[in-house]
Amino acid sequence: MTRSFDVAVIGAGPAGLQAAIHSARRRASTIVIGRPSSSAMHGIKLENLVGLPGASSGTEFLENGIEQAKAFGAEFAEMNILSAVSSEGGFGITAENGEKLIASAVVVATGVSRNRLGIPGEREFSEGRGVSYCASCDCNFYRGRTVAVVGGQSEAAVSADLMAKYAARTYWIAESFDADASLVTKAEAAGADRIPAKIAEIRGGESVTSILLEGGREIKVDGVFVELGGRSSVDILMDLGVMPEIDDTVKVDRSYATAVPGVFACGDITGKPWQVAKAIGEGAVAGMSAAEYAGRMRRRPSTI
């Protein structure tokens, strides 16, 4: 079953939630796709934002934003997306549970950087020496070899499934496996060896030779694919036909429209300063702009 919306907001942080509020207030049918727990705001103390004296809970801030957006009619899909592509009549989005969505306009509010493990060896082996952040890019280099895919959400599940079809052996490692159950089952059916553990170190010489898990277990591998969370902002933008800048940000105009009609962006993805106040302001404009664009698409005369 495919559901249609005027506006799809990808990302459930401050920029995405504000975009959803303003889109829904403009009477545009709006859905937000993303996990608030993946936002940089989740679990932190929020300070120096007008109207919030002292330190406030970032998690509570997100929860309140979700309720506000829902009050205006926005729907929420608390999951990651697998793909977002241009399609006839708008943009096609596939969620990790397999649900298909069509939207006339898309607001990308996912943040800018790929999540990293931050463990010894990750940086040292990331320049073509065995650590990769894109399984679909580098899978062919590991045909017939042994690899580890690290991460418990949808992107890791998809990558584990993919690498199991290329590598001789694929270890899928995460503290917890939060991807949709159908993705977990698919990866295991492909042959991925799922290990509930935390990786402590990546080891090697000229290239990766092993990983060390907390608790002391060492596993021999030729490569490590770090896939934390859902698809990165860069992946999503390129899927939609938008070419990011060299620093992974994206150019937008004053309406926060990208070079691709119907695709808008806001928040950290548009560049510094990476501040909540900036994200909220940009989200408001992007949400209104996306709703207006979707409205024009509805009013466009039929060519049939």
pLDDT tens sequence across 196-229: 999 999 999 999 999 999 999 999 999 999 988 7
Q: Does residue 24 surpass a pLDDT of 70?
A: yes
Q: Which residue has the tokens 């994206």?
A: 250
Written as six digits, the tokens of 129 are 């020496």
> Prior bond to 273 cis, omega within 30?
yes
Question: How sure is the predictor about 304, in pLDDT bands with cuts at 50, 70 and 90?
Answer: very low
Q: What are 60's two structure tokens? A: 């509570």
Q: Is the pLDDT of residue 161 over 90?
A: yes
Distance of CA 27 to the CA centre of its chain: 26
Q: What is the DSSP letter of 175?
A: S
**pLDDT confidence tier of residue 302, bands split at 50, 70 and 90:** very low
The interaxial angle of helices 58-71 and 14-25, nearest 10 deg, is: 20
Residues 73, 291: contact at Cβ < 8 Å? no
Encode pLDDT of 227-270 as tens digits. 887 667 778 888 899 998 887 889 999 999 999 999 999 999 99
Q: How far is the C-alpha of 25 from the C-alpha of 287, rounded, in Å?
A: 9
The whole-chain average pLDDT of the chain stands at 90
Least confident stretch, 8-12, 26-30, 83-87: 83-87
Q: For residues 230 and 290, what is the distance between their CA atoms, to the nearest angstrom?
A: 23
Q: For residue 39, is pLDDT > 90?
A: no
Rounded Cα distance between 73 and 132, Å, is 40
